[in-house]
Structure 1
Amino acid sequence: MQRSIDWEEVRRKREEFWNSSPVYKAIYEHMKKQGYHFIGTIGVVKRCHWTREALVNRRFCYKCLWYGIESHRCIQMSPVAAWCWLRCRHCWRIQPEDIGMHWDETRIPVIDDPEIIAEESIRVHRQIVAGFKGNPKADPLMVEEAMNPKHVAISLTGEPTLYPRLGELIKEYHKRGMTTFLVTHGVRPDILAGLEEEPSQLYLSLEAWNKQKFMEFNRPIVPRAWELVMETIDLFPSFKSPTVYRITLIKGFNDSEEALKGFAKLIEKGNPTYVEVKAYMFIGYSRGRLTPANMPSHEYVREIAKKLADLTGYMVLSESIPSRIVLLSRIKEPIRHGKGCPDGVKHPEKYAWVITHEYEEMKS
C-alpha cells in the first residue's frame, strides 16, 4: 500500500532548494524554459515529441516499433536534472559553460525518495497528457490510455546512475506494473552492479571508441572515466535483461573506418542484445558545441549501420526514418515489453511514416 504524500511539502522543498543559490536558480529557469517539469527536488520530466505524435497523428517512436512501448503511455524522466560526470559535446543538457556559472556536477546535492519521484513523475505525465483532452486532433481513447502510463524511460538529461537509490526507483515503477528502460554512459559500474532490481532494458550510450577520443569528445570531469565505462561493458553479459549499445553517430567524428572497427571490438567485449545506431541531433545546448554538418542524414546512418553489421555479424533488423535510427541485433526478433506497434519491426512505415526529412524533434 502506497503511503500518503504531502505534495505541498514536496513542492516547498523543491522551491527552497532551487532558490537557495543564484546558480541553482539559473539552472532551474533555463530548464523550465526548455519544457522540463521538476519532480521531487532535483528530478525532471519532459513531454516527448512522440507522445504528442502518438496522440495527435497516431505515429510512434522506434521504441514502439521494436519493443512494443506505447509512445503515448511513456514517461521520459531523470532523477538528476543537471549532474553528470561527462560534458559530452553532443549533449543537449545544460552545462556550466553554457550559462557561465559553476556547480559541482560530480555529486548530487539531494537524494530524493524513490516513491516520491515515481509518484510525481506519473502525476506530471497525467497533467501533460490531460492538456490533449481539448485538442480536436487528439484521439480521445488514446488520451485516456495515456492517463495510465505503462513505461518509463530513465534518461532524458543528466546521468541517472549518480542517483544512489536507482534500484529502488526501478522497483517502484515495476511495482506499479510499468516497464523501465535505463540509459547510462556507464561511468558508475558500482551502481549498476548493485541494483536491487534490473531495468526492463539497459542502454549504454557510446560516442567514442577509445580513451583518446573519449577524453576529447565526452570530456570527463572525474579520473578513470574511460576505465569505468570499460568496467560497465564487462558487466553487460551478467545482466538478465536485454542490453543495448546506443551509438550516437556524429558525422566527421565517429564515422571513420577506425571508429567502426573500434566499436566492433567494444561490441564483441560487451555482447549487447542490440546495437542502435542513431544520428546526433542538433538541438539544445549542443548547438554551441557542434554544427548542423555533424548531423547525418538517415541514408548515411543506414550506410554506417550496415558497415557495423558487416564487422560484427549482427543482423540489420529494422529502422525508423523519422528518428534516423537503425536497429542491429544478435537475436532474430526483439524482445517486446508492451503491446504497441505489433509488426513495427517489419513494417515501420505503418507506424512512423515520414512527414519531413528534417529532424522533427528540432521543432517540438
Structure 2
Amino acid sequence: MTARTETGRVPFLDLRAAYEELRPETDAAVARVLDSGRYLLGPELEAFESEFAAYCETGHAVGVNSGMDALQLALRGLGIGPGDEVIVPSHTYIASWLAVSATGATPVPVEPHEDHPTLDPLLVEKAITPRTRALLPVHLYGHPADLDALRDLADRHGLHIVEDAAQAHGARYRGRRIGAGRSVAAFSFYPGKNLGCFGDGGAVTTGDPELAERLRMLRNYGSRQKYRHETKGTNSRLDELQAAVLRIRLAHLDSWNGRRSALAAEYLSGLAGLPGIGLPVTAPGTDPVWHLFTVRTDRRDELREHLDARGIDTLTHYPVPVHLSPAYAGEAPPEGALPRAESFARQVLSLPIGPHLERAQALRVIDAVREWAEQTGRA
C-alpha cells in the first residue's frame, strides 16, 4: 500500500482541539463560576451530579476529586476495610489496586479473558474466599466487563460490585448504561478520558440513596453539617470550575463517543487480516466507547518505533503488570503467575484515537501499520 503524504505528526489525543470546539461555552461557564464567588460544593456541582446521574440512568452521582478517590470512597462507603479481600483484574491501571489497598483491604488479582481485557468470570469464581467482600471489574479501554455473570457470582456469594468505569463513560452493557440502576460505579474525569475536565475529577454513581449520603459525608471530612463530623472522612471534592466544564462536555459526550466509534470501525476494517496483529474484540451485548484502540503484537516495540518514525504517536497501556510493580513487591504473585496480564503488558500498543482525530489521520495510521506488517511478513 502506498503511504499517504499528509505532513505533521499524528497526535495520540488532541486535548486542545476539544477545548477549541467548545471554547465559547467553556469560557462562559468558567466566567460564571468566577463571578459567582462560590467555588466548592455549590450549584454547578449539584447540577452536574443531577445531570450525570440522569445520563447514567441512575439515581445519584457524587462528585469527588479523582477516579481513584471515587473507587476508594465507594469501597469505604460499602464498609470494606482491613481484613477484607477485593477481587481486581490482573491487567489494569494500578489505581484499581491502589484504591483497594488504601482502604486497608487486600487486592486479589484475577486474570482477564485471553482475547478480551476484562475479568474472566470463570476465574473470578475460583478466587472467591470467605474473606472476599467485593468484586471490582474494570471496563478497560471502554469495553464493558461481563456484568451479568459477575452479578450472578456476587449474588450467590453475598458480595458487592464496584465497577471501575474510568474509561467507560457512555458505554452500554445489554442496552444499559454503565453505572445504571443497581450499579455502584466509579468514574474518572482526568483530562484524557472520554468525559474529561481541566484537571483531576471523579464521581461515584449509585441507585442507593443511603450510600450516596455516606459518600457525600466521606468526601467532606465525614461531615454533613459544618464542624460536625460523624465519621473519619477525607477531603475529596469536585470543585465548581470542573463541574461547570463537565456540564458543557456532558452534552457532547454521545457525539464525541460516536466519532470514536467511527474511527474504531476504520481501524477494524483497515487492519483486518494483518499477520501478527491482534485486533480488539467486542463482546456480545456490549457497546464500547473506544477510550483506547489497542492492537496486540509480539513485536510491539518494533511497531511503535516504526510508527514514531512516520510521525505517529502511540502509547502503551500498560507496560508493567501491577503484580510486577515495585509498589506491590512482596504482596502480589511472582512473575509468571499471571501470564495473561504479562502477555497483555508485552503485546499491547494503543493507536491514536479521540473525537478530534481526523479520518485522514486514522487512514495514515492504517497505512503505516500495514506497511510495517508487510515488511515484517517478508523478513
- TM-score by length of structure 1 reads 0.29
Greater C-alpha radius of gyration: 2
Which is bigger in relative contact order (C-alpha 8 A, separation at least 6)?
A: 2
- TM-score by length of structure 2 reads 0.28
